[in-house]
C-alpha cells in the first residue's frame, strides 16, 4: 500500500498523555488552522515563524497530548514566547480559547517539570500581597531616596549580555511613593454627600506599592460619586502573575483567600478594582474554582460582582462631566490586553471619556495591541518586548495626543519608562487621575474629590 494512503487510513492519534492542568483535548481539536489568528498575533507579526503563532502553539500542545512530542523544556519555551495578550481569542471563528489553552499548557508543564527556583521565589513568596511586595521594594525605595540611582545608572548601561536586564528593570522602576496606599487608606472611605452605593475596593499589589496616587484618585472619584468605599485589610494578590507563570496551586490559594475576605464585608453593590489584570483574574475565579464543592458557588457569587473601574465609572457617573472651563485636551486610549481582549471591555472607556467636556478622544491604530509589558515579559523577553513597544509608541505619536489613558499597571510602567527615556511629547495617565482633575470644579453636581488626598497626577 502506498505510504500516503496508509497514513490516511490510520486512526486519529487521540489523547495518550494525561497531565494535570493540560487543556482539554477536544478543545485543542477545534482549531481548524484557518490562519485568522496570524495577522493579529504580536510574536508572529515580528517573526513570521509558525511556531510563534497561536495555531502553532496549539499544534505543539496537541502533539504533546497525543504523545507525538515529549513535554520538553523546548516546547515549554515556545509557550512562554506568547505575551498572553488574547488578541487571537478575539478573531478565532471556532471560538477556541487559545490564550487560556496556552496558560493551561504552562501550568501542565509546571506540574510535570516543577517550577523554576526563581518562579517559586517570586510567585510564592514575593508577589503574593502588597505587604510582601513592599518588603522586596524597601531596598529600592532607599536606592531612590539616597541618590544612589544617579551613580548606578551609568554602570548599568554598560552591562553586557543577560546582565543588561538589570538596566531594563531599573529603567522601568517609577518614582516610588513614600508610603504604599494599603498602609494609609482607611478600611471605610465614606461617600461624600448621599450614599448611593457600597462597593468593595480590591487594591492591587502593584497599584498600592507603585501607583498609590493613581489608586488614591480612584477612591477620591468613587467617594465623590456617592460610593462608600470599603477596602478590607489583608487582601492578597489577585493571582494574575501566578496564572501567567503556570502556578495554578498558588493561584487557587490566593483566590480562596480573597473570596473569604470579601464575603465578610456583607452586602456590596460591586467589587471594584482599578487594575485591568486584577479585574480579569477576579472575574475568572468562578471558572477557576468551579470544581471545588466548598468554593464553587461562593466563587461564582464573588466574580459576578466584580467590575473593572471603567465599567463602574461608566455605570454611575453623570452623562456630562467637567465644565466649559475645562482646558481642551487631546487624549488617546490604550486598552490593556486583559481589559479589551480578555474581558471584552472596549466601549465603557470610550463612552466615559466622551462625556468629559474639553476632552477630544483620538483613536490610535490597534488600541488593544500589546505594548510589550505583558506581566514580566519585558524582563524575560526584552528584545521582543522592545519591538512591540516601538510599534505602540509609533501608534500613539501618530494621534498627536497629549495624554494616553490606560488602567493596566504593566502598561503604565512600560509606557512611562519609554516617555522618560526617550523624552516623548505625551504623558501617560491612569483614567482615575484624568477624572479626578476634571471633577474638581463641582460644575457637574459631583462634590470635589479629595477624600484620599493623594490623587494628583504624578509623572
- Among residues of the chain, what percentage have pLDDT more than 90? 81
> Would you say how long the chain is, in residues?
459
CATH code of the domain covering residue 241 = 1.20.1050
Judgement on whether residues 342 and 400 belong to the same structural domain of the protein: yes
276 shares a domain with 244: yes
Residues 90 and 131 in one domain: no
Q: Tell me whether residue 414 is in a domain.
A: yes
Q: Is 451 a domain residue?
A: no
Final residue in a domain of this structure, among 172, 192, 211? 172
pLDDT of residue 449: 53
Q: How confident is the model at residue 157 (pLDDT cuts 50, 70, 90)?
A: confident
Return the pLDDT at 444. 46
Query: Mean pLDDT in the chain?
Result: 91
> Could you tell me if 328 and 427 lie in one domain?
yes
- Domain CATH for 437: 3.40.50
Residue 186 has a CB neighbour count (10 Å cut-off) of: 13
Residues 185 and 310 in one domain: yes
Report d(CA 189, CA 345) in Å as an integer: 27
Q: Residue 152 — very low, low, confident or very high, per pLDDT cuts 50/70/90?
A: confident
pLDDT at 438 over 70: yes
Is the domain of 89 the same as that of 135? no
28 and 95 in a single domain? The answer is yes
| Alpha carbon distance 257, 260 (integer Å) | 5
- Higher pLDDT among residues 155 and 64, named by residue: 64
Least confident of 196-205, 211-220, 323-332, 448-457: 448-457
Q: What is the pLDDT of residue 153?
A: 84
348 and 272 in one domain?
no
In a shared domain, residues 167 and 241: no
Per-residue pLDDT band for 450 (boundaries 50, 70, 90) equals low
Rounded to an integer, the average pLDDT of 146-170 is 82
Determine, yes or no, domain membership for 255.
yes
Into how many domains does the chain fold? 4
- Grid cell locating 221: 472619584
pLDDT of 32-87, one tens digit each? 999 999 999 999 999 999 999 999 999 999 999 999 999 999 999 999 999 999 99
Its domain, for residue 353, covers 320-441
Give mean pLDDT, residues 438-445: 57
Distance CA 244, CA 53 (A): 18
How does 416-430 read in b/e, with b if 16+ C-beta sit within 10 Å?
Answer: bbbbeeeebebbbbb
pLDDT for 391: 97
Do 281 and 193 sit in the same domain of this protein?
Answer: yes
pTM for the complete prediction? 0.92
- Tell whether 344 and 427 lie within a shared domain: yes
- CB–CB of 188/452 below 8 Å? no
- Shared domain for 227 and 292, answered yes or no, is yes
Segment 252-266 shows an average pLDDT of 98
Is residue 4 situated within a structural domain?
A: no
> What's 57's domain CATH number?
1.10.1060.10
Amino acid at each position: 500500500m502506498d505510504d500516503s494512503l496508509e497514513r490516511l487510513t490510520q486512526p486519529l492519534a487521540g489523547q495518550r498523555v494525561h497531565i494535570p492542568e493540560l487543556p482539554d483535548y477536544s478543545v485543542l481539536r477545534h482549531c481548524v488552522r484557518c490562519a485568522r489568528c496570524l495577522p493579529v498575533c504580536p510574536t508572529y507579526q515580528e517573526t513570521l515563524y509558525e511556531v510563534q503563532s497561536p495555531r502553532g502553539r496549539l499544534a505543539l500542545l496537541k502533539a504533546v497530548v497525543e504523545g507525538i512530542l515529549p513535554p520538553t523544556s523546548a516546547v515549554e519555551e515556545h509557550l512562554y514566547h506568547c505575551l498572553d495578550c488574547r488578541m487571537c481569542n478575539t478573531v478565532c471563528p471556532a471560538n477556541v480559547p487559545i490564550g487560556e489553552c496556552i496558560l493551561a499548557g504552562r501550568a501542565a508543564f509546571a506540574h510535570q517539570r516543577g517550577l523554576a527556583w526563581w518562579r517559586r521565589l517570586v510567585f510564592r513568596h514575593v508577589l503574593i500581597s502588597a505587604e510582601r511586595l513592599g518588603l522586596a521594594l524597601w531596598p529600592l525605595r532607599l536606592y531612590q531616596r539616597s541618590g544612589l540611582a544617579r551613580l548606578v545608572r551609568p554602570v548599568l548601561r554598560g552591562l553586557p549580555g543577560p546582565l543588561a536586564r538589570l538596566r531594563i528593570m531599573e529603567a522601568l522602576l517609577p518614582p516610588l511613593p513614600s508610603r504604599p496606599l494599603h498602609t494609609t487608606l482607611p478600611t471605610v472611605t465614606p461617600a461624600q454627600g448621599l450614599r448611593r452605593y457600597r462597593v468593595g475596593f480590591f487594591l492591587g499589589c502593584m497599584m498600592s506599592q507603585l501607583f498609590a496616587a493613581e489608586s488614591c484618585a480612584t477612591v477620591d472619584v468613587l467617594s465623590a460619586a456617592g460610593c462608600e468605599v470599603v477596602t478590607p485589610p489583608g487582601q492578597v494578590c489577585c493571582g494574575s502573575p501566578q496564572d501567567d507563570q503556570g502556578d495554578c496551586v498558588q493561584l487557587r490559594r490566593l483566590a480562596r483567600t480573597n473570596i473569604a475576605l470579601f464575603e465578610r464585608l456583607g452586602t456590596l453593590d460591586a467589587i471594584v478594582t482599578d487594575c485591568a489584570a486584577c479585574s480579569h483574574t477576579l472575574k475568572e475565579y468562578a471558572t477557576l474554582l468551579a470544581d471545588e464543592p466548598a468554593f464553587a458557588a461562593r466563587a461564582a457569587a464573588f466574580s459576578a460582582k466584580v467590575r473593572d473601574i471603567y465599567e463602574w465609572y461608566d455605570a454611575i457617573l453623570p452623562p456630562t462631566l467637567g465644565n466649559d472651563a475645562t482646558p481642551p485636551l487631546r487624549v488617546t486610549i490604550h486598552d490593556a490586553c486583559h481589559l479589551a481582549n480578555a474581558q471584552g471591555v472596549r466601549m465603557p472607556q470610550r463612552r466615559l471619556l466622551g462625556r468629559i467636556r474639553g476632552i477630544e478622544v483620538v483613536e490610535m491604530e490597534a488600541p488593544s495591541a500589546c505594548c510589550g509589558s505583558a506581566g514580566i515579559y519585558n524582563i524575560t523577553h526584552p528584545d521582543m518586548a522592545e519591538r512591540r513597544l516601538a510599534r505602540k509608541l509609533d501608534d500613539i505619536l501618530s494621534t498627536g495626543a497629549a495624554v494616553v489613558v490606560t488602567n493596566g499597571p504593566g502598561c503604565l510602567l512600560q509606557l512611562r519608562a519609554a516617555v522618560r527615556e526617550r523624552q516623548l511629547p505625551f504623558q501617560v495617565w491612569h483614567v482615575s487621575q484624568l477624572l479626578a482633575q476634571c471633577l474638581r470644579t463641582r460644575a457637574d453636581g459631583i462634590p470635589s474629590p479629595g477624600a484620599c488626598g493623594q490623587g494628583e497626577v504624578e509623572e
